Amino acid sequence: MKMSDGVEAAIHCVTLLASIPQDAVLSGADLARFHGVSASYLLKHLKALVAADVLVSVSGPKGGYRLARAADRITLLDIVLAVEGGAPAFRCREIRRAGPNPPDATAFPDPCGISVAMLRAERAYRDALARTPISELVREHMDHAADCVLARGAAFLKENLRQQG
């Protein structure tokens, strides 16, 4: 299964936003710059995350984005569904019923076994994403990232964090 690059960008943005105070925001332009992605491309995904109640958008000159709820209540599945939508990756077109001289529908009383297997695998994949909160990714990053990576993130936040109120 292939996901869009927007999923990666969205997950990175949400994990970065999980590390800021609740009364602060980061602008979409700053998030795009930090991750080296197009601002217009990223803004599309940030809007999808707002619509899915993963992020809150604060308007105004000191506006930006912050988490809509605690990082332990946002999962990888929340982000993937916000960016990619909820349609299954595998869509059975029932090609077993096509071709020359196809039998009538009564020859196929059971669901397509391939479709059943693929949807079972997708449920397992989604269940694994649903069991992975953003707070776990942040914790793992803080425990295992190189000091220079942590310093880069801290410097970025110091320079770009926008305090609210």
Question: Is 145 within a domain?
Answer: yes
pLDDT, tens only, 17-62: 999 999 999 999 999 999 999 999 999 999 999 999 999 999 998 9
Question: Is 42 within a domain?
Answer: yes
Question: Is 80 within a domain?
Answer: yes
d(CA 115, CA 123): 12
Residue 10, domain extent: 5-86+134-163
φ and ψ at residue 65, rounded to 5 degrees: -125, 150
The number of domains in the chain is 1
pTM: 0.90
The residues with which 67 forms a beta bridge, in sequence order, are 55
The residues with which 65 forms a beta bridge, in sequence order, are 26, 57
Q: In CATH, what number is assigned to the domain containing residue 34?
A: 1.10.10.10
pLDDT, tens only, 113-142: 999 999 999 999 999 999 999 999 999 999
Q: Can you give the C-alpha Rg of the chain in angstroms? A: 21
